[in-house]
Structure 1
């Protein structure tokens, strides 16, 4: 399909609008995090509602970031895909810092299992976005515990986000398969991380290539806690 000047202008307008919305939502999320960091269920009657608001604003912010990243990837060939050798210890610290207030406010424990000195090549910003979104999604399914585990399996770096909930429903497992196969029924913004989030994650994984191998994602049930597992493998 050939894009007309009007279509290009509309595309740029939508991207600009999404960027402005993301900035506003980021400010709101930051304000909620500050308020929650200085409060507790014992001192603030609205603490549970504030924690839920933070969860929802983080979901919305994730979706807007994903939209902008995909727009740049599809619409802008010069999108800066920046693969660098990264120390896993620093990567985990950034992920944990980005979700700590949300998890604390919901009474969820985050356990980690990784070699801090392990080094791997990947785009840090994109992968942090994927894993942060996976943890935010696990908040919806977990009872009270989430695990972030990273290790080398075969010739790939395997990043796992596991929870101790009842596991993913079959529809979500099927959505994970569809995201990797490229068979999409369309983005459903009313579901919890079964449309845009999985599509974004699969695209980020596929962008990572090494010796004819590409990255991949998978959803499964089981893991260390017997609940839902989001798995990202990077060559």
Structure 2
């Protein structure tokens, strides 16, 4: 029998990449369909659920690819300068159709500052965080950005019930902290934490902070970048 040296992790990564691209095309089609039939579809709970779940799966696949590249030591941050209010506005625009359909109000409160980060990595991290806020909010989501002690702090707040005490966390998550025996492995948290950790300046590296309160009184997810 032939010895077929198959790198199954590479096979999975290629399959995930193809699925991610297909779902991206599906999401674009859903946006176009909503725009063409706005009166009918904005109030359709089935259509909103379809779009939300497709977005969630797309985010999961982005995270899986990122974690695979992290494991292969092939994930790095390409730092560029960005004007934060514009970055957040452009980022929010892709979520606006679904937010409108779900009746969720979203606002931005960002200082007029520049930040230095990898836009693609941070987009993936924010997609995960906003998608999570959509799931648990009652009716409002707030994006924030400010400078504190030499860090750029980008936050996503909601008016939901907040994070349980066991999830409130400051720092960097390790892969060993993931629990595959529970219903939620926190892969999304690990991915966002890893993205923050890839941003460094001198001895300082980025990290995440989960807490409750904020302007809306619910969960607050913050990414701290040096």
TM-score norm. by structure 2 comes to 0.89
Distance in 2 (CA, whole Å) between partners of 1:152 and 1:159 is: 9
Check conservation: 1:108, 1:146, Cα contact below 8 A.
Answer: yes
Offset, 1:204: 0.5
Distance 1:187-1:127 versus aligned 2 partners, 3 A rule? farther
Check conservation: 1:36, 1:51, Cα contact below 8 A.
Answer: no
Check conservation: 2:144, 2:156, Cα contact below 8 A.
Answer: yes
Superposition CA RMSD, Å: 2.4
Offset, 1:216: 0.6
Offset, 1:168: 1.8
Distance 1:80-1:102 versus aligned 2 partners, 3 A rule? same
1:132 correspondence with 2:139: no
Distance in 1 (CA, whole Å) between partners of 2:153 and 2:80 is: 17
1:185 correspondence with 2:182: no
User: Aligned ranges for residues 47-196 of structure 1 at < 5 Å?
Assistant: 47-77=44-74, 79-116=75-112, 118-173=113-168, 176=169, 180=173, 183-187=176-180, 190-191=183-184, 195-196=186-187
Check conservation: 1:110, 1:146, Cα contact below 8 A.
Answer: yes
- What runs of 5+ residues in structure 1 fail to find an aligned partner? none
Within the candidate set 13, 26, 29, 1:28 is matched to 26
- What runs of 5+ residues in structure 2 fail to find an aligned partner? none
Distance in 2 (CA, whole Å) between partners of 1:6 and 1:219 is: 43
- Deviations 1:137-162, CA, capped at 9 Å, x for gaps: 10111111000000001110011100
Check conservation: 2:211, 2:220, Cα contact below 8 A.
Answer: yes
Matched positions, count: 224
Q: Secondary structure at the match of 1:43?
A: helix
TM-score norm. by structure 1 comes to 0.86
1:231 correspondence with 2:222: yes
Q: Secondary structure at the match of 1:134?
A: helix
Q: Secondary structure at the match of 2:11?
A: helix
Distance 1:188-1:150 versus aligned 2 partners, 3 A rule? farther
Offset, 1:6: 3.3
Q: Deviation above 3 Å: which 4+ runs of structure 1?
A: 176-179, 185-191
Offset, 1:44: 4.3
Distance in 2 (CA, whole Å) between partners of 1:211 and 1:62 is: 31
